[in-house]
Chains A and B, each alone.
Chain A
């Protein structure tokens, strides 16, 4: 069970949240071309390590959160707002 510390609601079980995927993708400019858009929609780095990701607190404040979580250890390092730009830790997770 993940426990996610929502900045508005406090620490809650993962079952209150809905995963919304990789948050490192940014939408290309309108004239960036098909290849850029296809990469944006379909391609994922899928790292084995620290991952920037969206979680929607659907069973709480209903806000979209940005997490830094480790995909092997599941350690959660940062829970921020959608606007935050956290950098990924350099060291391996616990």
Chain B
């Protein structure tokens, strides 16, 4: 790869121009003044030769980690190195669902912490991320599934998390589109997490990038890490397309590419890379005001504020770094969509894309030190890492700043695999393509 020249480089030494506070007033005044008073949301920083902390990957987790390091833990000598522009990784490719309806108590606590952070995030970042707690509804189609979901809901409620059982009639009232008696897998009922919902994904990347930059973090785009420098057991810096950058601590937050970066430091991870597809339909009038998941296959759907139906299904199922999906899964997803909501048969799909994700061997993420001193890993997010961005960022920042795991993320350590403490949320065993 050759270095991409930075269009408008800005020397890191000069005083940063802040983008100022955003507000309704400012929007109005800028509207009257022809929108000429806005400045860049985050500074285009030039790399310096050395930082206290270098974060590889400018997706949701990398940016949130940088922001919390600076704002919560007082460490702003931080650079985020992103190989492309901010927001084009999975943070801008996902289907934007947030929720905390997990099964393992440690996971429920972690994702609930994240949901709480989402609830206050827009005020904190002064950025409209369109956090919409419209509810997430999981349908069940067999008695065994009802029992399993009931158990999960009870575990959640014991930990103070919201979960409501819905009858068939209540499901129909909430989502008229659902064909309860569909010929294949009739709906028996559902569980609703009213506080679940969706968030505008790109706004999350932009909001964190802006807030981190304002707090003194260097956000360096078009800077790909190509190698890792070590001194014995310790990592000392990274080689990049924009030169060597040294650091005391290096944190990997590269989503689907963790194995690649870890290999540069001589590590092999319990991760495979797989692609997940997403689909968006043409914009239609409001028909769906809650996130729905189908329990008899792998299909989930919501409607964006622009009117497009946003939906997806399972991973394609074999190792890949190709950021595209193949037709068999698209066909399967369409089949499930039409089974559950027959009216969708007449809606046109407008766009389809894929994102490469780390599928960990137990289906749960990793926030951990590694066998290489100074190298921290935030990865293994599978297809659920968007909702975890606030908590992932906060707990990774804690790990870096305090040199000890955050209590809510201690169970996500890398050592769990060798120690036999895997977090098999789904009960699928060590088969990453089955999670």
- A and B part of one assembly: yes
Write the nearest CB–CB distance from A3 to chain B, whole angstroms.
11
Separation of A83 and B318 alpha carbons in the complex (Å): 21
**Is there contact, CB below 8 Å, between A44 and B259?**
yes
**Is there contact, CB below 8 Å, between B319 and A46?**
yes
* Chain A contacts with B in 1-52, Cβ cutoff 8 A: 1-2, 13-15, 19, 21-22, 34-35, 38-39, 41-46, 48, 51
**Is there contact, CB below 8 Å, between A19 and B268?**
no
**Is there contact, CB below 8 Å, between B273 and A38?**
no
User: Tally of A-B residue pairs with Cβ under 8 A?
Assistant: 73
A45-B268 CB under 8 A given contacts A1-B328, A72-B321: yes
Is B158 in the interface zone, CB < 8 Å from A? no
Say whether chain A's binding surface is mostly helix, strand, loop, or mixed. Answer: mixed
Is B246 in the interface zone, CB < 8 Å from A? no
When distances are taken between beta carbons in the complex, the residues of chain A under 8 Å from B328 are 1, 13-15
Select one of A1, A19, A42 contacting B270, CB under 8 A: A42
Is B342 in the interface zone, CB < 8 Å from A? no
Interface size of A as a range: 20 to 34
Separation of A17 and B269 alpha carbons in the complex (Å): 27
A1-B327 CB under 8 A given contacts A46-B319, A74-B322: yes
Listed in ascending order, the chain B residues whose CB lies under 8 Å from chain A are 257, 259-260, 263, 268-273, 317-322, 326-328, 361, 417-418, 430-433
Q: List 8 A-B contacts (CB under 8 A).
A: A2-B318, A15-B328, A21-B432, A38-B418, A41-B417, A48-B257, A48-B260, A72-B321
Contacts A35-B418, A46-B260 supplied; 12 other A-B pairs, CB < 8 Å: A21-B319, A42-B417, A43-B268, A44-B268, A44-B269, A44-B271, A45-B268, A51-B319, A69-B318, A72-B322, A74-B320, A74-B322
